[in-house]
Amino acid sequence: MWNLQNLQLMLCTALSCVSSAAGLIRVFGYEGSDVTVSCPYDPGYERYQKYLCKNSCGYSDFLIKSSQENKTKYSAYDDKRARVVAVTITDLHFGDAGGYWCGVTRAGKDIYTEVKLEVKADRCCDKVNKIQSIEEGSVTISCPYDSQFVDKLKFLCRGNRPSTCLQQAVITSSNTQNGRFRLSDDRKSTIFTVTISSLTLEDSGSYLCGVQRNSGFDDFSAVELEVKEKGEQNASGEKKLEDLPPSITAEVYEHQSSTVKTIIITTRPPASEEQAEVHYHQSTTMKTTTPLVSEELTEAPVSSAAGSIRVFGYEAEACCNKVNKIQSIEEGSVTISCPYDSQSVNKLKFLCRGNRPSTCLQQAVITSSNTQNGRFRLSDDRKSTIFTVTISSLTLEDSGSYLCGVQRNSGFDDFSAVELEVKAESCCTKTKNMSGIMEHSVTFQCPYSPQHPNDTMFLCKGDRASNCTDMTGQSRFILSNVSSSSFSVTVTKLEAGDAGMYWCGSGPGANVGNYTRFHLSVAAAVSCVTGDVISVFGYEGGALKVPCPYGPGYEDYEKYLCKSDCKVDDDVLIKSKGNNNKYSSDDNKRARTFTVTVADLRLDDAGKYWCGVTKGFTDIYKEVKLNIRPGERIKFK
């Protein structure tokens, strides 16, 4: 098998991987992002090895094979049902652009399909349309497009990154109303417009108009929006009633004659209407005079000096003296806790972005009258007088200031401030592999920050730190050996269901990033060697270890585990330098034993396998027999 593969590689180099090209696959990606190359193949080649190579496919040009472990930059998945090999290339650079080949290894001459990768800078555009509007007003963004894209999806996003624009679009032509955003597509003039109402100062910034294309890069145009603060004076220089100056609680009095109505606002109520003085100091009074019509006399009767109307405005558009700072990670979730006074149990609760109390309710992302809004969910615990807002599928753009609000019937609404920081989930460039034996124990060593002695220590289980199950409450999970920089969690009496991914560390929760990632394999305790056959026993749903001893002198040779008759490369399950979701390996050269851990056992995993050592023209093999017994996964309460 192995010298045949070498012969195929020699053929590939001699042919420069061109003569067998069956077509062209065009792939497009942005600098710094990821791209997936989908390579289809014909029926009958499901069990053959596939690969991606570049240039002339020489020995150094092979990037990844379907049987290999995922590399730092390349990963491969062979969907044999769809007959497509998907190779993902991460962290694209301009140097990655160029020609590649999808290959299928077979006897004689391999099968090739040409791939052309184009890479663009992840920014847009040379020309930027600059527009302005005013706070609390509205603005319409015009996005022209080519007539050939009439039936394509249109969208608008914040920022200037084309690679994530559609994914993070604030509105699309498939859903033309989203809160304050409304999209309209005029197909005759080939312009779609997005209207943003109730503008805030936070709406200022960069936007991209996008049109999705079936192939190639999507089309974009750039817009820079500037929202200016609302002016305080009208054309005549007088204050408007709706533009209250920086005033606090004020008393309002009305005086009328047969032709005009005069409104006086002062912080000191006069003894009578006749004694009322009109002041123009912006912090105490203002005056407006409007024509008086009959409707005003009947629908808005005149106030007397004995009664008053209380008006409330904000001097400083910011809140609050105390800010609750919380953190989470990208693609995870976070819960914002908002305490309130017991007298406000029946009041409307809400959450908004920014720190401007005057527009918070109007701009609320969610309220207690509508407890689910996309990624936002509100829950009100009236007994503890705390309402919470959970934000799921977090993005880096969710970082920023938020206000928890409670509406009052009169007076200022109640607010508390929150600052949210969403971090990229960058923990753990490597996973620490651990293994244990059923009924035995294993210990995790977890980081602990001495700068935050009150942080909670945790150990949780799951594929992602942002969505894992806390295990510290389980009786078999024992926390110990707490020091200034670490602590230990020992899992006793290991069970098959204990296998999987774990995260441990300290902080407000597993969302912060101060943690270590482990992958635990749990093997059956029984294995034996009879003659030339290694027999290994395991339970369905659990894991087992296959010990493959080898002779002296072969410490630096490559080892592998294969199944069936090992006739094709697809029969190779794991090599000494690789790990994958189901198989992991460890080559103990001192003990001269190559050990393979097989996880997530199924009944159809039972059968004949071979431990192999790559050696010249003829490899060295030892037969392995896997025995799988029925069993159930352990379910934790």
Burial class (CB in 10 A: 0-12, 13-18, 19+), 496: buried
Looking at per-residue confidence, does 317 or 404 come out higher? 404
Q: 103 Cβ partners below 8 Å, 6+ apart?
A: 12, 17, 50, 51, 52, 53, 57, 110, 111, 112
Model pLDDT for residues 297-340, shown as the tens digit of each residue: 333 333 444 455 555 665 556 688 889 999 887 777 889 999 99
Q: How far is CA 371 from CA 332, 366, 380, 408, 420, in A?
A: 20, 7, 9, 19, 20
- Average pLDDT value for residue range 615-629: 79
H-run or E-run covering 11? helix 2-15
Give the other-Cβ count within 10 Å of 569's Cβ.
Answer: 21
pLDDT, residue 358, reads 85
Q: Which of 543, 457, 542 is nearest to 503 (CA)?
A: 457
Question: Using 50, 70 and 90 to split pLDDT, how confident is the model at 1?
Answer: very low
* Among candidate residues 348, 374, 352, 373, the one with its CA nearest the CA of residue 362: 352
Task: Choose the most confident range, by mean pLDDT, from 22-31, 418-427, 604-613.
Answer: 604-613
pTM exceeds cut of 0.75: no
Statement: residue 209 has pLDDT above 90: yes
Give pLDDT tens digits for 458-475: 888 887 766 678 887 788
In this predicted structure, what is the pLDDT of residue 170? 93
pLDDT band at residue 210 under the 50/70/90 scheme? very high
Whether residue 540 is predicted with pLDDT greater than 90 in this model: the reply is no
* pLDDT value of residue 567: 64
Tokens of 310: 């209380």
In DSSP terms, which residues pair with 521 in a beta bridge? 435
Q: Is the pLDDT of residue 578 over 50?
A: yes
pLDDT of residue 237: 43
- Angle in degrees, CA 321, 203, 352, rounded to 5: 45
pLDDT of residue 154: 93
What is the share, in percent, of the chain residues with pLDDT greater than 70? Answer: 75
Q: Which contiguous run of DSSP H or E holds residue 9?
A: helix 2-15
pLDDT at 9 over 70: no
Please give the DSSP secondary-structure letter assigned to residue 216: S
**452 pLDDT more than 70:** no
What's the whole-number mean pLDDT along residues 81-87? 90
d(CA 537, CA 625): 9
pLDDT score of 262 more than 70: no
Higher pLDDT, 600 or 180: 180
Predicted local confidence at residue 365, as pLDDT: 92
Q: What is the pLDDT of residues 91-135, one digit of tens each?
A: 888 888 999 999 888 776 788 899 999 998 888 888 899 999 999
Q: What confidence score (pLDDT) does residue 275 get?
A: 37
Measure the CA–CA gap between 561 and 613, rounded to whole angstroms. 9
